[in-house]
Amino acid sequence: MVALIIAVAVAAAVYVPAEASAKQYVVGDERGWTNNFDYATWAEGKTFFVGDSLVFNYPAGKHNVFKVNGTDFQDCAKPLAAAPPLTSGSDEIPLKTAGKKWYICGVSGHCASGQKLVITVSEGSAPPAGYSSSGVAMVNIGFAALVLVGTLGMLFF
């Protein structure tokens, strides 16, 4: 019986990510995108997947969002030949590819005072609804296998 309960619990734990959909992360939560805030701590423990998005909220005109590379991030340097910054005050950035992403505020002194964010985006997000059911099918096979193992376990323990 214990084995079966464990099997069901494990299957349930596996099932949740398969059902989860793309997430929208408000950078800095209620503090938004601002200086004198620790975005490294904010990003800690969060797992970003392709398909998720970031939202940068701030009073328009007070800050902006530059997507930069790792070097410019380290140096707090605005990219010279890159796209103009986002300035709407409610900027949504879809995370389209896996890998490291760097963002800074281009207003003088802000990046240096902590208005910089680096995240790592992982492949293998849950498929959006209607996109593919293969992931769910795989989980169902896993669930059946676990129930089988659990049932066999009951015979032996």
Contacts to Cu ion by CB under 5 A: 63, 105, 107, 110, 115
Q: Judged by CB, which is closer to Cu ion: 32, or 127?
A: 32
Residues 154, 3 contacting (CB under 8 angstroms): yes
Contacts with 97 (C-beta within 8 Å, 6 or more apart), sequence order: 50, 121
Q: How many residues in total does the chain contain? A: 157
- 59 or 94: whose CB is closer to Cu ion? 59
Cβ distance to Cu ion smaller for residue 105 or 119: 105
List strands edge to edge, sheet with 66-68. Answer: 48-49, 116-122, 99-104, 66-68
CA distance 62 to 68: 19
Q: Among residues 4 and 107, whose Cβ is nearest to Cu ion? A: 107
Nearest to 103 by CA among 137, 80, 78: 78
Smallest gap from Cβ 152 to Cu ion, in A, equals: 60
